A and B are shown apart, each in its own frame.
Chain A
Amino acid sequence: DAMVIQNPRYQVTQFGKPVTLSCSQTLNHNVMYWYQQKSSQAPKLLFHYYDKDFNNEADTPDNFQSRRPNTSFCFLDIRSPGLGDAAMYLCATSRDRRIPTDTQYFGPGTRLTVL
């Protein structure tokens, strides 16, 4: 089945220790997104890739970076995690952001704990 896969499902890191979260997709979608979701809140878009073009949301902290080495994979790097970065991180994909009917498909998420 075509899907969005996130690894690991649970990640524990220490305050200030860099961490990388991984997302892969078999849908062959052009767009890959990273969302941050804190407890009982709506997902908050951090950034997305449209093919190789990186698009950052205006309020995403510099501490968050992303890489997309190929169509299938996208990584979220948190350079110096703070306690406030503990959250669920959701990866999503879609075909084409230029059309309003574009539907996003979400992975299961990675829950990040910062000690």
Chain B
Amino acid sequence: AQSVTQPDIHITVSEGASLELRCNYSYGATPYLFWYVQSPGQGLQLLLKYFSGDTLVQGIKGFEAEFKRSQSSFNLRKPSVHWSDAAEYFCAVGARTTSGTYKYIFGTGTRLKVLA
């Protein structure tokens, strides 16, 4: 079955520290992977996406993610976290449906807290 797992429900880091948010997917075909961020009370904003090519993907707000097919992972990283990065982060895979279209399968999210 197609699924996305974000093993960490909550993560707390200090401002200025590095960050890595984990995402593992289960998908039989070529995965199309996305990371979204949701600030409190807001909608989802696309951070970055991976479709093919270079496995290290750069996104907005200084985020990057690395696709590792052998580990079925698409972890999100940032070298130095800012207080404004406190939010919920969702990983998603674009999965093919039985009708031949594509829909997102979201992970359950990781809530990031940043300590001053």
Which residues of A does B touch, CB under 8 Å?
Answer: 4, 6, 40-43, 45, 50, 90, 92, 97-109, 111
Contacts and interface: CB of A to CB of B under 8 A. Distances in A.
Interface string B33-51: 0101000011111100101
A100 B41 contact: no
Contact of A40 (B30, B94, B111): B111
A111 B41 contact: yes
A104 B108 CA distance: 18
A108 to B, nearest CB: 4
Interface residues of B, number: 25
B32 interface: yes
A6 B42 CA distance: 11
B109 A109 contact: no
Contact of B96 (A6, A40, A100, A106): A100
A41 B43 contact: no
6 contacts: A90-B43, A98-B101, A100-B32, A101-B49, A105-B46, A107-B43
Contact of B109 (A4, A40, A101, A106): A40
B69 interface: no
A50 B101 contact: yes
Contact of B49 (A43, A45, A103, A111): A103
A29 to B, nearest CB: 14
Interface string B10-42: 000000000000000000001010101000011
B108 A41 contact: yes
B44 A102 contact: no
Contacts of B67: none
Nearest to A50: B101
